[in-house]
Each structure stands twice: as structure tokens, then as C-alpha cells.
Structure 1
Amino acid sequence: MRTLLITGPGGSGRTTVAAATALAAARAGGRVLLLGTDRTDTLGAVLGTPVGTAPGEVAEGLTARRVDAGEDFRADLAALQDRAASALDLLGASRLDPEGFGPLPGAEELSVLRALRDAALSPAYDLLVVDLPPAERALALFTLPEDLRRALRGLLPPERQAARALRPVLGRLAGVPMPAEWLYGTAARWDTELAAVEAVLADRHTTVRLVAEPGPAGAAAVRTAGLGLALRGLRTDVLVAGRVLPESVEDSWLAGPVAQQRKTLDEWRQTYDVRPVAHLGRDPRGPDDLTALAVPGVPAAPDASASAAFAASGGRAGPAPAEWPVTDRLADDGVLVWHIPLPGARREELDLIRHGDEIAVTAGPFRRTVPLPSALRRCTVDGAALREDELRIRFRPDPRLWPRTP
């Protein structure tokens, strides 16, 4: 399955573009699932057909559903209490009634990630189109699986599970049940589920489609979003420039906005494949308006063998490492250079910190900690520079670790 993640600044028309893209793909013969992440039915308003939390056909070949964070949270709370029953009994704690609670902070993001994982593994569709939250929240969502897995490994390192066989003995000696078994089991299950989400995001058939209005505000938002996506290693297929005004306007009042959008479009074309979508003069509603937008198409779905292999793994394969190349300049300069594409980055917004075999890269408001390629782990950092929208980090071999040449 191909996965298309659609986001952009708030109010840029990303939901409209998501619905139009999904409808166009379905009319081209694909089996499409459109996943909405808004709490309210914004997709239904655009499609002209209500979209519920259960999958439902809204057009021929097009199925749509919304994420229900409340329902997911209540199910998780009930399951957690079942797994922790012995610990709760030991503490004399009463069980909570899931029906009396709404989703806690963070539950909505986890529900979206779970829905994304489950939909991407479904063999029933050729294309998954996800109407994500605004870019700022979407970028935070993309960081969540990797950061949560890192936190889990720090709090409950896998090597500590080597003593699992001793816990029943310790429990009998202490005379009380030991809760660590369910705790490690829960951590292992969460790690597997988060790895599946990472695999979906890192899959070569997953791309992000940015949506923004051409203008000063849109330009600033796209620069920030593009920087965050690049740091996560996520691929952008096109930049949809929405609500584009016609160039041949007679109203002098519109001459200024038209000039601004022309300038922004020219700047965007230096970095992105820009696809302008004309302003209809009204808010698009229903299939006819969505078709009139003429949104860019979606590339053909991946071959069945690739999708089958991914589904067979249950999404547990984990993401591929970031495709940041290392060039060998040992012969000329005595260094290796790691190239990290960061379009739109500014020198004063960059920071690097090495932690053992990992390096933390900060670019603007974004931060990511990634493992070093094996060759660079035997080197020391020798400096860095930002050139041509690319962060180039120099590594010099450590004589204590680098293999000696005969």
C-alpha cells in the first residue's frame, strides 16, 4: 500500500486537498482509505457525506473514517487495569470505570498513530490518504514513536529482562506478587507497536504532501515544516499551493496579493515540485467542487510483493536508517563527512551534541537523536558547516579505535 500524509499550516485547506486527492485516486480505479484525524467531522463537511468513526463508503472505491480518541482511550484503560490486576489488588486500589473518563493529554496522538499503523497494514486498500493535523502538531506526531521507544529503552532496558526467570522465586521469598512481569510485557508490546508505526513512516512508499497558501505566512510555515520533515527523513512528493488567484485580475486591490503569491511560488519552485490549485471563489463542498480543484495525482501503488512482505512482518521490521550519505575524504583531508539535508536551515539555529554512538541534531525548533553510522562511531567530531541547505559534519578517525593499515 502507498501512504500519503497530508499536512500544512492551519487554515491552508489541507482537509480539502486530502479529500480531493482521495476522491481522484478512487475515480482512477484505486481502492482508497481516507483517514481523518480531526475531532469534528471536517472531512464530512468537505465531502458532502458524513464520515463516522467506523469505515464507510463515501464514493465508489473510496472508504473514509475518523479516529475516535475517546473510544481508544477507554479500551486501553480497561486493558491496562486487567493486566495490572495483581498490582492493583496488592495496593488495595479500586478499579476505575473507563466510561467516566475522557482521553488524557497525549491519548489523541497515540490513537492517530495506531490508526495509521492498522490502516497501512490492511490488504483491503491500495492507497491510504491521511488528513493530518496542522503541520506543527503533525511534526510532533512524527517524532513521538522514536522518542517514546527511546524513553522505554532508557527506563526499562531490554538487558534487565535477563533476570525474568528469578522473579517468581523472588515473589515466593517475599510473599507478594511481583508486578515487573506485566510491566516488562507491556513495555515490550508498546515497543513493538511503536516500531510498526516507525516502519510505516520510514517505508519508501510513504510520502508527505504539504499544503499551503502562497504568501508571506505560508512561506514561513513551509520553511519550518520542510526543515522538520527533512530532519525526520520524511519524503515530500509535492507542495500544493492552494487558493491561487488568477494572474489576470483587473481589480487593482488584488494586484498586491497576486504579486506576493507569484514571488512565493517562484521561491518554492527552487526546492519543491509545486502544484498550484486555483481558488474556486468559494469554499469547496461536495464531489463536484473537489473534482474542479484538479489536485495532483498519486503515483502508482507499490508492487504487491513489497506490501505483502511488510504486512507479513506485522510492521515490526523497524525503520531504515536515515538516508544521510557519508563521503570518504580520508585520502585528501583525513576526514569522513556526514551529509544531512536540511533545506531552509539557518546557521544560528543549528546545534550538535554527541552522546556515545549517537548524535543529537537541533535545527530550529526540532531535535532528533540518531545513531551514528558504524564507521563514524570510531571517529571524533572535527567540525561542521552548513552549505547549500546541507549540514556537513566532519569526523576524524580516532587512532585508538580506527583499524591500522599495514
Structure 2
Amino acid sequence: MRTVLVTGPGGAGRTTVAAATALASARSGRRTLLVSSDAVPAFADGPGPVEVAERLFHVRVDSGAHFRGELLELQERASGVLDLLGANRLDGEELTELPGAPQLALLHTLRRVAEGDWAQEGYETLVVDLPPLTEALALLALPGQLRRYLRRLLPRERQAARALRPVLAQLAGVPMPAQWLYEAAARKDAELAAVEALIGDGATTVRLAAEPGRAAGDALSAARTGLALHGLSVDAVVATRVLPRHSADPWFADLSARQDKCLDHWRQEWAPATPVHESAHLGREPRTVEDLAVLAEHCAPGDRAAGHAGSPWWTEDDGDGVIAWCLPLPGAVKEDLKLVRRGDELLLTAGPFHRIVRLESALRRCTVAGAALTDGVLRVRFRPDPALWPRTQ
């Protein structure tokens, strides 16, 4: 399944670009699903996929309903503990979603597409309208982070001792986690793994929507580094609301010239690996399917991903037994890079972006010998630890 994740600076028209991309895919003959958290003009929505055009389906994420359902289910499973504590039950009508609920609801929807009850619908293209850039990058990293937290808080190997829990509880004087908690953690881990696999799939790309301007250019440059850090490739940059050129009005001509200058800079920065498409200003906000069809001419998702997704690292032999682990980080600044080795993990920071990478088995037996950023590629050098590598005769 081809997956296109659409994001961009706030107010740049990313929802419109996502809808136009989905429409272009459907009109090319592909069964397409558009997932969005915001309303799409002229598109019906509902708790499940609704057909809005031939081969085009739309589902709008209801974060409030998802939050209430999850909390009520948790309350029911923990009823024994809650009754023991004398806690009062919460009713669904009094529950209002907390910060972070929209992100979790969107991940839940993607899981249903990846391997849940919607996976049988046979969608060939999935288009996802993500939050604005900074929030989108945090959202895409969330499945891996949550899985890491689950492994640390409820390690699977501890489940083997469930027969001893009554004895351990008496010895420790505190109740041990119930089996249902481990089972719930295992279910959530499997769901997050499915979403993580969808995001990291080689057929998944990110599409950036931005209105030409200095602020948008700065946001795209910063996001370029963050996307590379997480192994996500960008298939296109869609410049939205591009004004007509050669206007007789001096004011419009000046605005158009500024947009042209910005677009030239974007092409130099992103091309040739990532094309920059122009989406004309309609003179109004898109309101109909016909409006989206005009924009869809520049938003076809394409058949293949552009670049490498999921696992961008590669290794090089630096000689003398030193292994260089390489990661392309276009736009990264040396002063903003930080690396910390903690056990079997490498903690990477590039400006405001963070990622924790679990080292491959061979590198876990090495020590970090240094790191350097050269021509947009970060190289971390590992030297085999004599105490952990077998000696040769």
C-alpha cells in the first residue's frame, strides 16, 4: 500500500493538499482512503470510511469518542482495584479528552488501516492529513517511544514469574501487577508496532505543503533535518496559494516576485531528489470537489517512494577495525548535534529533534570512538571493545 503523510506549517493548506492528493490517486484508478482530523470541504465524514467519490473514501478521526472509549474500557478492566479503593466510576458523558488524545486517536486509526478491521478493504493508497510540522514529527516518533516505555515499565520477561506473584506480593508487602495489565501492554505494543511498520515502510513518504514565504522556508529547512533523523523521505514539496505571475498591479507583482524568489530557493534546496510543485491560488478557499480537482493536477502521489525510509543508516569500514555508522542529515548544524551512548542505545539530538536508536548487535560490543558531520552526513565511529570481542589466535 502506498502511503502519503501530508504536513506543513500551520495554515498552509495541508488538509486541502491531502484531499487533492487523495482525489488524484482515486482518479488514477487506485482505491484510496483519506484520513483526516479536520473537516474537508465537500467531503462527507463519519466514524468509518465513507465513499465521497469513485474509489475515494474518507474517514475523520473522532478523538473525543476514542478517548472516552479507551478510558471506559480501562475503568472496566481495573474495576476490582477501583472498588477496593472505593473510587467513584466516571460516566462517558462527563469525560472530556485530555492533551495528547488527538494524537493517540490518529495512531489508533492508522492501526485499523494497517492491520485492523479496515485492512481488508483493499486500499491501494492511504493519504493521511497530519498536524502541523513540529507536531507531526513528534507524532511520527510517538509509536517507537511508547513501545520503548512499555518495554521498560512492563518487561515481557517478568511475565514468566506470574505463578510466583502471590508469594512475591507477600514478601514485598505490595500488590504485584495483574496479568490483564501485561496482556493490555502486549496488545498495545502489537498495535504500535503495526503503526511503526506503516510509517517506516519503504512505500511511505512525507509530502510537505507550504505557502511560499520566509517563515515557511525556515520551517521546511528545520523539518528537513528532523525528517531525515527519523528516516522519513519527502516525495514532494507543494507550494500552495501561488499567485499569478506578470500582474499589472504593482502590489500583486511585488508579492508574486517574492514568491518566485522563495520558490527558486526551495528548488535549489530540495531538487533534484525532491520536486517542488506549484498549486495555484484559486482566489478563494477550496469548497467543492471541482476546486480540489484543479489542485489535484499537481498532487498525484506517484507509484514509488522517493528515497529511503525507515532505516536510513549504513555502515562503512574506516580501516583499523573501526566501523563508521552513517546517517544523512541534510541541513544539520554541527553545533546543534548531540550524541550520547547509553547502554545498547544511542541518543541523538539535532536541534529540536530527538531520536533514540537501538544499536545493532555487533555495535553493542563496540565503544564510540568519535563522530563527525561532513557534507550533510553524520558518521559515528565505533571501535570493537577487546573485552567483548573474541580474541583470535
Structure 2 length normalisation: TM-score?
0.90
2:345–2:356 Cα contact (<8 Å) kept:
yes
In 1, Cα distance between the equivalents of 2:353 and 2:175?
A: 43
Relative to structure 1, the CA distance from residue 145 to residue 49 in structure 2 (aligned partners, 3 Å threshold; closer, same or farther) is: closer
Match of 1:115 among 109, 115, 119: 109
1:235-266 superposed Cα distances (whole Å, 9 cap, x missing partner): 21111111222333333323443333333323
Amino acid at match of 2:17: V
2:316–2:325 Cα contact (<8 Å) kept:
yes
Relative to structure 1, the CA distance from residue 390 to residue 171 in structure 2 (aligned partners, 3 Å threshold; closer, same or farther) is: closer
1:84–1:179 Cα contact (<8 Å) kept:
no
2:6 match: secondary structure: strand
Relative to structure 1, the CA distance from residue 329 to residue 79 in structure 2 (aligned partners, 3 Å threshold; closer, same or farther) is: same
1:123 match: secondary structure: helix
1:17 and 2:20 are equivalent in the alignment: no
1:321-356 superposed Cα distances (whole Å, 9 cap, x missing partner): 62210101124xx52211111111111111110101
Note the 1:267-306 alignment, pairs <5 A.
267-269=265-267, 270-271=269-270, 272-293=274-295, 294-300=297-303
Note the 1:344-383 alignment, pairs <5 A.
344-383=331-370
Residue aligning to 1:307: none
1:384 match: secondary structure: strand
Note the 1:97-136 alignment, pairs <5 A.
97-121=91-115, 122-124=119-121, 125-136=123-134
Structure 2, unaligned runs of 5 or more: none
Relative to structure 1, the CA distance from residue 335 to residue 173 in structure 2 (aligned partners, 3 Å threshold; closer, same or farther) is: closer
Deviation (angstroms), 1:173? 9.9
Residue aligning to 1:328: 317
Query: What's the Cα RMSD here?
Result: 2.4
In 2, Cα distance between the equivalents of 1:263 and 1:158?
A: 55
2:66 match: secondary structure: helix
In 1, Cα distance between the equivalents of 2:318 and 2:60?
A: 51
Deviation (angstroms), 1:221? 0.9
In 1, Cα distance between the equivalents of 2:380 and 2:170?
A: 55
In 1, Cα distance between the equivalents of 2:319 and 2:34?
A: 50
Note the 1:11-90 alignment, pairs <5 A.
11-38=11-38, 41=39, 43=40, 45=41, 48-90=42-84
Aligned residues: 381
1:396 and 2:393 are equivalent in the alignment: no
Amino acid at match of 1:364: G
1:56-75 superposed Cα distances (whole Å, 9 cap, x missing partner): 11111111121111111111
2:120 match: secondary structure: coil
In 1, Cα distance between the equivalents of 2:214 and 2:96?
A: 39
In 2, Cα distance between the equivalents of 1:90 and 1:229?
A: 47
In 2, Cα distance between the equivalents of 1:372 and 1:291?
A: 46
Relative to structure 1, the CA distance from residue 97 to residue 338 in structure 2 (aligned partners, 3 Å threshold; closer, same or farther) is: same
Structure 1 length normalisation: TM-score?
0.87
In 2, Cα distance between the equivalents of 1:401 and 1:6?
A: 45
1:86–1:179 Cα contact (<8 Å) kept:
no
In 1, Cα distance between the equivalents of 2:275 and 2:103?
A: 29
1:287-316 superposed Cα distances (whole Å, 9 cap, x missing partner): 1111112223122389xxxxxxxxxxxxxx
In 2, Cα distance between the equivalents of 1:212 and 1:173?
A: 60
In 1, Cα distance between the equivalents of 2:76 and 2:358?
A: 37
In 1, Cα distance between the equivalents of 2:226 and 2:16?
A: 23
1:216–1:260 Cα contact (<8 Å) kept:
no
Match of 1:231 among 229, 232, 235: 229
In 1, Cα distance between the equivalents of 2:365 and 2:257?
A: 53
In 2, Cα distance between the equivalents of 1:323 and 1:346?
A: 19
1:365-402 superposed Cα distances (whole Å, 9 cap, x missing partner): 11111012333222222222222222121222222233
In 1, Cα distance between the equivalents of 2:276 and 2:374?
A: 24
Amino acid at match of 2:206: V
In 1, Cα distance between the equivalents of 2:219 and 2:174?
A: 56
Residue aligning to 1:310: none
2:114–2:195 Cα contact (<8 Å) kept:
no
In 1, Cα distance between the equivalents of 2:286 and 2:259?
A: 21
In 2, Cα distance between the equivalents of 1:377 and 1:169?
A: 36
Relative to structure 1, the CA distance from residue 59 to residue 354 in structure 2 (aligned partners, 3 Å threshold; closer, same or farther) is: same
In 2, Cα distance between the equivalents of 1:178 and 1:335?
A: 46
Match of 1:167 among 165, 181, 184: 165
Amino acid at match of 2:314: P
Amino acid at match of 2:389: W
Relative to structure 1, the CA distance from residue 173 to residue 379 in structure 2 (aligned partners, 3 Å threshold; closer, same or farther) is: closer
Residue aligning to 1:314: none
